[in-house]
């Protein structure tokens, strides 16, 4: 029997995929949401070869409000009720405050911050509060300190931290917990071409294990915030 239904944005690759695999292994049914239909299908097929859970996929460009509305209408028509929504979709574009174009700023804010705000606002009625109910937001250590290789990305992640703190306060009366998970450097496509070995990074599975643990605690408990870094520090620390 299923442990409940969880929607994961960015579930087709990287950290979102690591979370999806870990939650599927714990018996949760999963909705994977991302842009690329190919990536979604590949990840769905991979998970289904290992785990006997239900998986649906939604192709949606989170930078477009109308696509978020379409995704919401689809889930409503299907009668989906989620015990958790995990916001993992995100983009990274290198660039600093004074040298980047306004287009880089807009693109980064749209996917990394605005989409999380709008998605949560729309999907709130589809959260099942009859049992433990949790919104998980994947932030970053870039939202805890200066981030010199991508300060605009850092601004979006600081915004996400502020969003999580306020959302947690707003939703606690409804019995919905909000967890902010801040990964440090994690080996995903974002680090393509890195000279460092994979062992120097956090693994996507580590974040999956952490999210699974947060969802396993008793219904009256929430992990406000958790930071998971490479033992030797984030890569930009060197
Ligand atoms: N990797 C790190 O070191 C690190 C560290 C701290 C925090 N994070 C955060 O972790 C999250 C996941 O990053 P990652 O490293 O796993 O990146 P990734 O491997 O590049 O995966 C990004 C995921 O987000 C989806 N996505 C991107 N833009 C989208 C859009 N406009 N609409 C819908 N889906 C979109 C991608 O879908 P497609 O397959 O369709 O492109 C993919 O599933 C991000 O929020 C990132 O900021 C990463």
Structural domains of the chain in order of their starting residue, each with its CATH number: 5-237 (3.40.50.720)
Q: Is 156 in the pocket of ligand 1 (CB under 6 A)?
A: no
pLDDT digits (tens, 9 = 90+) for 2-22: 889 999 999 999 999 999 999
Q: Is 61 in the pocket of ligand 1 (CB under 6 A)?
A: yes
Q: Is 39 in the pocket of ligand 1 (CB under 6 A)?
A: yes
Other CB atoms within a 10 A radius of the CB of residue 125 amount to 8
pLDDT digits (tens, 9 = 90+) for 65-114: 999 999 999 999 999 999 999 999 999 998 889 999 999 999 999 999 99
Q: Is 140 in the pocket of ligand 1 (CB under 6 A)?
A: yes
pLDDT digits (tens, 9 = 90+) for 136-169: 999 999 999 999 889 999 999 999 999 999 999 9
Q: Where are the beta strands (DSSP E) in the chain?
A: 5-9, 29-34, 55-59, 84-87, 133-138, 176-183, 225-228
**Rounded to the nearest whole angstrom, what is the distance from the C-alpha of residue 54 to the centroid of ligand 1?**
23
The DSSP line for 45-95 is HHHHHH----EEEEE--TT-HHHHHHHHHHHHHHT--BSEEEE--------
The pLDDT of residue 129: 96
The pLDDT of residue 76: 98
Q: Is 192 in the pocket of ligand 1 (CB under 6 A)?
A: no
Average pLDDT over residues 183-198: 96
CA dist 52 and 33 (Å) reads 19
- Bridge partners (DSSP) of residue 5 are 29
Collect all residues with Cβ–Cβ distance below 8 Å to 211 and sequence separation of at least 6: 19, 22, 23, 86, 136, 179, 181
Atom of ligand 1 nearest to the CA of 62: 32
Residue 238 clears pLDDT 80, i.e. is over it: no
Residue listed under structure tokens 């300190």: 145
Collect all residues with Cβ–Cβ distance below 8 Å to 145 and sequence separation of at least 6: none
- Bridge partners (DSSP) of residue 30 are 6, 55
**Rounded to the nearest whole angstrom, what is the distance from the C-alpha of residue 17 to the centroid of ligand 1?**
10
**Rounded to the nearest whole angstrom, what is the distance from the C-alpha of residue 173 to the centroid of ligand 1?**
31
The pLDDT of residue 237: 46
Q: Is 185 in the pocket of ligand 1 (CB under 6 A)?
A: yes
Atom of ligand 1 nearest to the CA of 15: 16
Q: Is 188 in the pocket of ligand 1 (CB under 6 A)?
A: yes
């Amino acid at each position: 029997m299923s442990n409940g239904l969880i929607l994961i944005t960015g579930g087709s690759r990287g950290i979102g995929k690591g979370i999806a695999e870990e939650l599927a292994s714990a018996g949760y049914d999963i909705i994977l949401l991302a842009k690329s239909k190919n990536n979604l299908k590949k990840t769905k097929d991979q998970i289904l070869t290992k785990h006997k859970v239900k998986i649906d996929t939604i192709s949606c460009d989170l930078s477009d409000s109308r696509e978020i509305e379409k995704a919401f209408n689809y889930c409503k028509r299907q009668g989906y009720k989620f015990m958790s929504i995990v916001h993992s979709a995100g983009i990274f574009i290198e660039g600093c405050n004074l040298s980047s174009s306004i287009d880089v700023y807009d693109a980064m804010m749209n996917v990394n911050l605005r989409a999380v705000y709008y998605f949560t606002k729309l999907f709130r009625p589809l959260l099942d509060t009859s049992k433990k109910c949790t919104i998980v937001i994947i932030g970053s250590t870039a939202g805890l300190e200066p981030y010199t290789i991508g300060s605009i990305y850092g601004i979006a992640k600081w915004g996400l931290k502020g969003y999580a703190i306020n959302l947690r306060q707003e939703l606690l009366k409804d019995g919905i917990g909000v967890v902010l998970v801040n990964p440090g450097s994690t080996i995903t496509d974002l680090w393509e071409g890195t000279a460092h070995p994979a062992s120097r990074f956090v693994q996507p599975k580590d974040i999956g294990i952490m999210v699974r643990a947060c969802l396993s605690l008793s219904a009256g408990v929430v992990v406000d915030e958790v930071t998971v870094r490479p033992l030797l520090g984030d890569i930009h620390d060197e």
